[in-house]
Amino acid sequence: MKKGILFSILSLLIIVSCTSEKKKIPVSESIRINQIGFYPNSIKQFVVVDSIPTSFEVLDEQGEVVFEGKFQDNGIWEQSGEHVFLGDFSSFNKVGTYVIVVDKKEKSYPFEIKQEIYNEAFKASIKSFYFQRASMPIEEQYGGIYKRNVGHLDDTCLFHPSSGKNEGTLNSPGGWYDAGDYGKYIVNAALSTGQMLNLLEQFPTVVQDSALNIPESGNGISDLWDELKYELDWMLTMQDTDGGVYHKLTGKNFSGFISPEDYNLDRYIIGKGTAATLNFAAVLAQASRLYKNIDSVWSQKALDVSEKAWDWAVKNNNVPFANPDDVKTGEYGDAEFSDDFYWAAAELYISSKNEKYLTYLQENKEPYIHQLTNSWKFFVRNMGFHSLLENKDVLAEDFANELTNDHLKLADDILEKISKNPYKIGLNLFEWGSNSDVLNQAMILCIAHRLTGEEKYIEGAEQITDYIFGKNATGYCFLTGFGSKKVLFPHHRPSHSDGIENPIPGFIAGGPNKDRQDSAEVTYESDFPAKSYMDVQPSYASNEVCLNWNAPAVYVLGYLEQNRK
């Protein structure tokens, strides 16, 4: 009897000991995984670095092993200096919350497998634009703890001499703050709004009315369209009477890290040039056709001002913008306009059916490439391609087929890069805003999937989103407010002036940047390009937020949510 009692006690101690050991397994920074999770039927991969692992287990919330696997040795990644091992558990598809345990001694951050896995991240990535609104307060009923008072009414903006005017003021309220600063810039506004309009054109009901809890919720119109129109209505104020478009609305210098209501610098209308005018023409033409059945009067106005802008650009086809000597805010300079003309002509042809725009497209082909870095400058040609591909019914068959073949060739090239990359992404160049580069690659793959329905393309887009949410050489989930290893100190004035510990959620951080332009102010922990990122407020080169980094995230997450059901 005593032996039986003793045996039972020993057995209990062993169970308690084993359970205790499971709980003591530490989370390892060497395991890089999507910290949000995966769709049940999606590809599911992670990487391990800084060790030579042999096997892994997937554990559920009860600590039970639900999947076992081995590693693939992916070799050394020159961009991070790491020996990378890939784990794959794509065949496991049971809904739940899990961790990865490697060799029974270290575990990953938790993640989920479920339908609509990106729904909250998708909505937050759009809601971030609401938090960037100028000229209105962020009220508690819409912004919660991130409420703030109104700033930048922009009702009496001065004309800088570079605008071509020397007196008077311009009433130019509304729109979004461009990035971590309080400027408003036409070229970046156009690209960013256009990418999200692409999503609305493909999936008009992707965001329902009242889904985002913004002031316009409940008006019977998609909250995404309402948010985009807030920016477009500001853009309309930036057109001169002759059709040309002013380049930007900023102070002469950046402000300190203060709240919008505390900003006391004069606001100026600065510059007028070919790029701003053509980008304005493109996005307003694009918006005009998508809003036609909602507000026909606004739609016609948008098309009219777009054509007026085109006419000005044709007459003024080489007017580059550069910051005047007394202006230090973001430049967004560009001296090559063929791609801007192409995007504008594409949108104007689709929306107006005027043959002169088609003639321009046929006589002025652009190379079908994805040129990395500065998407506001180089991705505009792709914007033209993408809208034409979505509207192939208005094109001659040979033109439509040529565009389709070129797009699939570009997408296949990205897939080839993914197959050769140890982290399974298509990016090997890490410059300013690298996260937007990789997300734009995902956008290209999503469109290839839309054209063909082939699984390989959407799987490639999923591997890229894995990178954004933690399967990267820094281990960070780059969307503020999400993941276990969070971005906490983005270069973002509202987030650093509101007195709240956590930053406003829903922003994509810029990401690793080999050039580290802020290195005089920031000490980077690594010289490797893929690790050249610091989650500190001064790091504008790697940790700033920006409209054109969030816009492709909105598109990609929205596309996946519509197609992974």
Cα separation, 208 vs 378, whole angstroms: 32
Burial, 81: exposed, middle or buried (Cβ in 10 Å; 0-12, 13-18, 19+)?
Answer: middle
Helix (H/G/I), strand (E/B), else coil: 31? strand
Residue among 160, 247, 386, 491 flagged as catalytic? 491
- 304-314 b/e with 16+ CB inside 10 Å = b? ebbbbbbebbb
Residue among 178, 181, 334, 431 flagged as catalytic? 181
Do residues 495 and 478 make contact, with C-beta atoms less than 8 angstroms apart? no
Cα separation, 416 vs 457, whole angstroms: 11
Cα separation, 517 vs 192, whole angstroms: 24
In 3D space, the residue among 331, 334, 330, 384 whose CA is nearest the CA of residue 362 turns out to be: 384
In 3D space, the residue among 433, 394, 397, 388 whose CA is nearest the CA of residue 198 turns out to be: 388
Do residues 269 and 244 make contact, with C-beta atoms less than 8 angstroms apart? no
67 Cβ contact partners less than 8 Å away, ≥ 6 residues apart: 57, 58, 89, 91, 92
Angle formed at CA 229 by CA 296 and CA 395, multiple of 5 degrees: 60
331 is catalytic: no
Taking every pair of Cα atoms in the chain, the longest distance, rounded to a whole number of angstroms, is 102
**Would strands 82-88 and 45-49 be described as parallel, antiparallel, or unpaired?**
antiparallel
In 3D space, the residue among 104, 124, 98 whose CA is nearest the CA of residue 227 turns out to be: 124
247 is catalytic: no
Angle formed at CA 345 by CA 549 and CA 414, multiple of 5 degrees: 45
- 245-272 b/e with 16+ CB inside 10 Å = b? bbbbbbbbebbebebbeebeeebbbbbb
Residue among 57, 226, 459, 544 flagged as catalytic? 544
544 is catalytic: yes
Helix (H/G/I), strand (E/B), else coil: 10? helix
Instruction: Supply the DSSP symbol for 538.
Output: T
Cα separation, 103 vs 81, whole angstroms: 23
Q: What type of residue sits at position 210?
A: S
Cα separation, 407 vs 369, whole angstroms: 9
178 is catalytic: no
Cα separation, 68 vs 96, whole angstroms: 16
Strands (DSSP E) contained in 315-437 are: none
The CB density around residue 376, as the number of other CB atoms within 10 Å, is 26
Helix (H/G/I), strand (E/B), else coil: 128? helix
Catalytic residues: 181, 491, 535, 544
